[in-house]
């Protein structure tokens, strides 16, 4: 079986080397390019399994690279993990809305990066948290979302959600660990329930959390970016 290959797009050699070192140690093959244009060429000629994309690049910036890759049929499916500096929330939001799959913020731990790469690959392979048809079983079984019957069970007990709350929860829970921006949430929920604005998303999330009780921490706020369903069950009392 051929190795999973990660294309690293990074103009700072030390950071590129660090990323490559940790990925190779975990069994990934890596390629490295130093500019946005080279990234486009490399991805078109030989599409990698995952792209780790620095957003601040000398020629074409990372957002433009992301946009162009997602526009083209042959490169659209490549998962993209954006690498940003702290305080670039607007770039993160823009990148996610252009189709970027995930992001990490510099300085980052190599372990987190490797975990994110595995995560996008797992999702790419269609390994969504679906236990059986129409049922999402999450948080080690503490939360069940029954999409056919529109029922949510917390610790086996049904809770009463509005249609909007249900749609929000269902949308986030389909991709644990992945941030959704408010606009992405609005687009996904639109038409299924009421008309939403950024501010009303926050209001509905607050109401949803209250109803989730001790599972409320599963719906995480990502400051300046949006919301995320927790990847693993957050630590409750031991």
Residues that bind Ca ion (CB under 5 A): 11, 54, 56
Cβ neighbours around 221 below 10 Å, total: 13
CB of 11 to Ca ion, least distance (A): 5
For the chain, what percentages of helix, strand and coil (3-state, to nearest 5) are there? 40, 25, 35
Nearer to Ca ion, 57 or 117 (CB): 57
CB of 224 to Ca ion, least distance (A): 20
Nearer to Ca ion, 12 or 41 (CB): 12
Alpha carbon distance, N-terminus to C-terminus of the chain? 42
If DSSP codes are grouped into helix, strand and coil, which group holds residue 166? helix
d(CA 146, CA 166): 10
CB of 204 to Ca ion, least distance (A): 37
Q: Closest CB to Ca ion belongs to which residue?
A: 56
Residue 182: enclosing H or E segment and its boundaries? helix 182-189
Nearer to Ca ion, 56 or 142 (CB): 56
Nearer to Ca ion, 61 or 146 (CB): 61
CB of 85 to Ca ion, least distance (A): 8
DSSP classification of residue 218: G
């Amino acid at each position: 079986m051929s190795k999973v290959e990660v294309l690293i797009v990074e103009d700072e050699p030390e950071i590129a080397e660090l990323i490559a070192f940790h990925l190779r140690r975990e069994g990934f093959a890596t390629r490295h390019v130093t500019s946005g244009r080279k990234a486009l060429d490399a991805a078109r000629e030989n599409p990698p399994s995952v792209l780790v994309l620095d957003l601040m690049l000398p020629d074409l910036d990372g957002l433009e690279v992301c946009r162009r890759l997602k526009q083209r049929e042959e490169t659209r499916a490549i998962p993209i993990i954006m690498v940003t500096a702290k305080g670039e929330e607007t770039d993160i939001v823009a990148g996610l809305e252009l189709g970027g799959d995930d992001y990490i913020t510099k300085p980052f731990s190599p372990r987190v990066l490797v975990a994110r790469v595995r995560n996008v690959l797992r999702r790419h392979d269609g390994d969504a948290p679906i236990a059986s048809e129409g049922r999402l079983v999450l948080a080690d079984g503490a939360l069940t979302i029954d999409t056919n019957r529109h029922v949510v069970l917390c610790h086996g007990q049904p809770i009463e959600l509005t249609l909007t709350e249900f749609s929000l929860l269902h949308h986030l829970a389909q991709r644990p660990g992945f941030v959704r921006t408010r606009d992405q949430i609005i687009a996904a929920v639109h038409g299924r329930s009421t008309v939403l604005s950024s501010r009303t998303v926050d209001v509905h999330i607050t109401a949803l959390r209250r109803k989730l009780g001790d599972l409320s921490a599963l719906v995480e706020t990502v400051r300046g970016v949006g919301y995320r369903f927790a990847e693993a069950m957050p630590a409750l009392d031991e």
